Amino acid sequence: SRKWSRAMAILKEFEDKCGTPIVKLRQVADAMDVEMHAGLASEGGSKLNMLISFVDNLPTGDEEGLYYALDLGGTNFRVLRVHLGGKDKGVIGQEFEEVSIPPNLMTGSSEALFDFIAAALAKFVGSEPEGFHPPPGRQRELGFTFSFPVRQTSIASGTLIKWTKGFNIEDVVGEDVVGELTKSMEKIGLDMRVAALVNDTIGTLAGGRFYNQDVVAAVILGTGTNAAYVERAHAIPKWHGLIPKSGDMVINMEWGNFRSSHLPLTEYDLALDAESLNPGEQIFEKLISGMYLGEIVRRALFKMAEEADFFGDTVPPKLKVPFILRTPDMSAMHHDTSSDLKVVGNKLKDILEISNTSLKMRKIVVELCDIVATRGARLAAAGILGILKKIGRDTVKVGEKQKSVIALDGGLFEHYTKFRECLEGTLKELLGDEAAETIVIEHANDGSGIGAALLAASHSQYL
Ligand code: ADP
Ligand code: MG
């Protein structure tokens, strides 16, 4: 029918606009490399903040003692206790608790958020056995993973530049987040010291390095997306401090804010951005990360419903609700292997209240998921190539046998199999066979929590 062909035309146009041929991906990688240089050259020199982490030494594997970590950066936050065994012993014990953040706290007041976190931390510490209590006069020490853009002022302090990922608490922007947390801990008499303030990318890099000394970068693909890597301190013109003994400085790229004319942006992406909490910001993140992929699919489906009566004469009301289609549901539909696409049918019914969908329609929905996931995964691979270019590890030098490991973590990478496979395949394709053999993508399962504890250990006041 005419309506069906109109729907197919919308789909086809969307697919074309989302296209990521290799040439385009190379342009994206080159642009990333250029922006990295610019962001390192001067403060505000690029959309990429290229934040200096104050981490100039990564774990060696010999760290020892009992340390805590706190991970705040998305929908959940976690409290961990990590027991490090010292030389060659690794992590000998680890307990954690996960608490979901009440949505009202994500856009409320600073005090309410940090009081809530401090209370959860106090509860965790309060329930631990005698054996874990520090000796008299000694404080517990904490690595605080805070996964939002922070301008660090030292290893254990830093001011929030802006919120991302659905958080929006105005009175914290420009404030020292460690100061805020410390205030809340003191209020309830919790005697704990923040020894390190890190981003989840930095934590993942540190956690990855603890197990594998070839780790050179870390990438998070979860609710949001970001990357960190090890830079040579002398290659950071904006760094006016002393050159550290190691010669290295870890950089938190804040790559979610990358943007380039080479990015394949569609009308749906522009509308999503315009209606978001942070218009004009985090454009790369809005193409790639878990918070947004399902929403892009919803927007494309909505257009097909509105302009081509894809679901009948009226637009299903639920389809109008922003963020109703979550990425885990999109992923479930994308991986549906049943011959009648039962999962797709059920998701459409349960989430969007659209019943009686035909197999033909369900196939189109799967195709939309594929278009959006493929674009995101391929762009993420291009971003990784950009980092490898920046550190000169995208090609193999004669006689050199270096390995480079990229630690990856985040719910999207971990659970969205097709996304992960596409990312890995694309990176191989971009590198070519020979170079691809020297690059390893490693899933760093919750490296960020352990990483923060490790950094607390190496910055302990008792060393
Ligand atoms: P965060 O990024 O919030 O710190 P995670 O790394 O656990 O936390 O990532 C959670 C995100 O991962 C979710 O917001 C969601 O977008 C994505 N995700 C979780 N499970 C799945 C899944 N099964 N399929 C696709 N994406 C998923
Ligand atoms: Mg996280």
Give me 437's structure tokens.
Answer: 């053999």
Q: Which residues line ligand 1 (CB under 6 A)?
A: 73-75, 222-223, 290-291, 327-328, 331, 410-412, 415-416
* Number of the ligand closest to the Cα of 223: 1
The predicted structure's pLDDT at residue 137: 87
* Number of the ligand closest to the Cα of 373: 1
Nearest CA, atom 6, ligand 1: 410
Number of neighbouring beta carbons within 10 Å of residue 326: 16
The predicted structure's pLDDT at residue 131: 85
Query: What CA–CA distance (Å, rounded) separates 429 from 170?
Result: 43
**What average pLDDT does the structure give for the chain?**
95
CA atoms within 13 A on the CB side of 280: 2
| pLDDT over 90 (residue 19) | yes
Q: How far, in Å, is the centroid of ligand 2 from the Cα of 328?
A: 16
Query: What CA–CA distance (Å, rounded) separates 95 from 261?
Result: 45
Do the Cβ atoms of 63 and 209 come closer than 8 Å? no
pTM recorded for the entire structure: 0.95
Do the Cβ atoms of 245 and 273 come closer than 8 Å? no
pLDDT tens-place string over residues 71-103: 998 878 999 999 999 988 989 999 999 999 999
Do the Cβ atoms of 447 and 217 come closer than 8 Å? no
The predicted structure's pLDDT at residue 219: 98
The pLDDT-based confidence of 1 (bands split at 50, 70, 90) is confident
Query: What CA–CA distance (Å, rounded) separates 151 from 252?
Result: 10
Q: How far, in Å, is the centroid of ligand 1 from the Cα of 154?
A: 30
| pLDDT over 90 (residue 60) | no
Q: Which residues contact 340 (CB under 8 A, 6 or more apart)?
A: 359, 362
Nearest CA, atom 14, ligand 1: 223
Q: How far, in Å, is the centroid of ligand 2 from the Cα of 71?
A: 7
pLDDT tens-place string over residues 326-383: 999 999 999 999 999 999 999 999 999 999 999 999 999 999 999 999 999 999 999 9
Which helix (H) or strand (E) covers residue 267, if one does?
Answer: helix 267-274
The predicted structure's pLDDT at residue 119: 96
Do the Cβ atoms of 33 and 390 come closer than 8 Å? yes
What amino acid positions are annotated as catalytic residues? 78, 147, 200
Do the Cβ atoms of 65 and 81 come closer than 8 Å? no
* Number of the ligand closest to the Cα of 222: 1
The pLDDT-based confidence of 387 (bands split at 50, 70, 90) is very high
Q: How far, in Å, is the centroid of ligand 2 from the Cα of 203?
A: 10
pLDDT tens-place string over residues 294-333: 999 999 999 999 999 999 999 999 999 999 999 999 999 9
Rounded mean pLDDT, 265-286? 97
The predicted structure's pLDDT at residue 426: 98
Partner residues linked to 70 by β-bridges: 79, 144
The pLDDT-based confidence of 445 (bands split at 50, 70, 90) is confident
Ligand 1 atom nearest the C-alpha of 293 is 16
pLDDT tens-place string over residues 250-259: 999 999 999 9
Q: Backbone phi, then psi, for 322, in 5-degree steps? A: -55, 140
